[in-house]
Amino acid sequence: MSATPLPAHRDSWERRLLDHPDLLGDIAFAIGGPFHLMYPARVERNIHAFRAVMREAGIAGVVYYGKKANKSPCVTRACANAGAGVDVSSTGELTAALAHGIRGADLMVTGPAKSDELLWLALRHGALIAMDSVQELDRVTALAAATGPARALLRVLPTGSTSRFGMTADELAVAVALIDREGGPVGLAGFSFHLSGYDPVARAEQACELIDRCIEARALGHDASTISIGGGFAVDYLPERAWREFTDGVDGEWFHSGKRFDSFYPYHHPAPGPAMLSTILEHGDLAARLRGNGIRLAIEPGRALLDRAGSTVFRVQGVKTRSAHGEPYRLLTVDGTSLSLSEQWFDSEYLPDPVLWPRRSGDPTPTCVGAATCLESDMLSWRRIPLPRAATTGDLLVYPNTAGYQMDSNESAFHELPIPPKVVIDDAEGDRLRWRLDA
């Protein structure tokens, strides 16, 4: 019994690659194992789309790429080319961002209880630092006396939140009072917050609270001219109709070995990425409040800047036929692991259908996809995907839109299998595509 099909949105670069008779196969031959495809031009396009929303709203704003979403150097370079900043949370992320073109002033450093080494580097390079606690502010103040002035955002714990991150109202009052207003080592640049989920109204209302905090801080003599509303901008992976048919009809009989899932990531969103930012700015006329108070808006998207900027490719190296509920289906083994589809490791399933390459005629065939390890649970697709034909050994499976968190947030050389490399796809003259290893 096949599950309902879930074909992903696809960009022209992907269509060109899949339609080319040789290019994908040549890359697979050269790599000799699973690999990730990256198309950095799409990252730049996504940055410009967010910027266009800010420009249309008439606000000052800056885009910081949430680097944790993908380690690829080509993404950081795309941010540098497009004039975006980068949000980092470790010395490794910070040094990698600098190495691939991001200026220190265009870095935002976030995360809890940052190491002294990270803070020292951030201060040396003039990065904006989001303070998570009063104790961290004390540490930065001491370090800044030796390294030079610090630019600080104070991270706010949203009302009603049980997050371990951010400061309560009482802690914020202490932090503001500790910052010297007369040329001290730390300057209060503004406030920040992060929210889970994809509710634009909640973000807009929390942003209004941060504007009020900036106004109060200015009355005390602080600059306080920036607010950051964090990331969490939705991505639209699938057409609405396909997603609705799946969610309305999801059936336990669709999954290998009777596997059950309690929830799935929302793979369809009616107002993703830049459209979500537009909705945030419209609610309560947030854009007017930002303009009227001379406040700059910072955002920290990760997944949304990587939308349709990458895919993951596996080679089929084994095929079995199994049956369930009286019907046969294919059970494939590929040459990689589900650590390259990170959603599988959150007790869920990465749902956009893989594309079977090369394209040939055949009969639709329900197919599940297993990995090359000895773990029973290591499945790339528990769901019986309706592939357009029966897959055979040597075929490629291309999982779409995996650049955002999927392809390397859980990477591991388990079984001493090589970590899949990243292959960068670039445009060339004559509507051609070229490829190179990411470096």
Cα dist from 205 to 3, 97, 110, whole Å: 40, 32, 22
Give strand ranges (E) for 226-357. Answer: 226-228, 296-299, 310-324, 327-334, 355-357
For residue 136, pLDDT over 90 is answered with yes
* pTM of the predicted model as reported, rounded to 2 decimal places: 0.96
The residue among 251, 400, 382 whose CA lies nearest residue 322 is 382
Task: Determine how many CB atoms are found less than 10 A away from the CB of residue 321.
Answer: 10
- Helix count (H) and strand count (E) of the chain? 12, 17
pLDDT digits over 345-395, tens only?
888 999 999 999 999 999 999 999 999 999 999 999 999 999 999 999 999
> How sure is the predictor about 315, in pLDDT bands with cuts at 50, 70 and 90?
very high
> How sure is the predictor about 425, in pLDDT bands with cuts at 50, 70 and 90?
very high
pLDDT of residue 1: 77
Task: Determine how many CB atoms are found less than 10 A away from the CB of residue 124.
Answer: 12
Q: Average per-residue pLDDT in the chain?
A: 96
Write the DSSP assignment of 119-156 as a string of letters. HHHHHHTT-EEEE-SHHHHHHHHHHHHHH--EEEEEEB
pLDDT of residue 110: 98
* First and final C-alpha spacing in the chain: 43
Contact indicator for 133, 114 with CB cutoff of 8 Å = no
More confident residue, 325 or 301: 301
For residue 182, pLDDT over 70 is answered with no
> How sure is the predictor about 146, in pLDDT bands with cuts at 50, 70 and 90?
confident
Running DSSP on this structure, what letter comes out for residue 254? Answer: G
Once rounded to an integer, what is the mean pLDDT over residues 53-57?
A: 98
